[in-house]
Amino acid sequence: MSASAQWWRIGPLKHKRYPQIAPVKNYSFNKNYILGSPQVAARPIKGFKLRSYYDLTQAEMRFMKSAQHNMRFREYNIASYNFSDLARVYMELNRLSEAKWFLLQSNLIARRQNDARHTFLNLLSLASVKIDMGEISLAREDLIEARGIADSRGWRGEAAEIDKKIQSIKGVSNSAPKSELKYAELPEAESKSK
pTM here is 0.65
Integer Cα distance of 106 and 78 in angstroms: 10
Tallying the residues shown for the chain, one arrives at 194
Q: What does the pLDDT profile of the chain (194 residues) look like in tens digits?
A: 555 566 556 665 666 777 788 776 766 655 555 555 556 667 777 776 767 888 899 999 999 999 999 999 999 999 999 999 999 999 999 999 999 999 999 999 999 999 999 999 999 999 999 999 989 999 999 999 999 999 999 999 999 999 999 999 988 775 444 544 444 456 676 766 55
- Answer for the pair 123, 111: CB distance below 8 angstroms, yes or no: no
From the DSSP assignment, how many helices (H) and strands (E) are in the chain? 8, 0
Integer Cα distance of 153 and 167 in angstroms: 22
Integer Cα distance of 178 and 107 in angstroms: 23
Residue 103's Cβ-count burial label (10 Å; 0-12, 13-18, 19+) is buried
Closest to 90 (Cα-Cα) out of 69, 59, 117: 59
- Answer for the pair 147, 155: CB distance below 8 angstroms, yes or no: no
Per-residue pLDDT, 26 = 66
Domains observed in the chain: 53-171 (1.25.40.10)
- DSSP string for 31-88: HHHHH--S--PPPPPPP--PPPHHHHHHHHHHHHHHHHHHHHTT-HHHHHHHHHHHHH
Per-residue pLDDT, 18 = 74
| Vertex 164 angle, CA 161 and 170, to 5° | 145
Q: Residue 194 has what DSSP assignment?
A: -
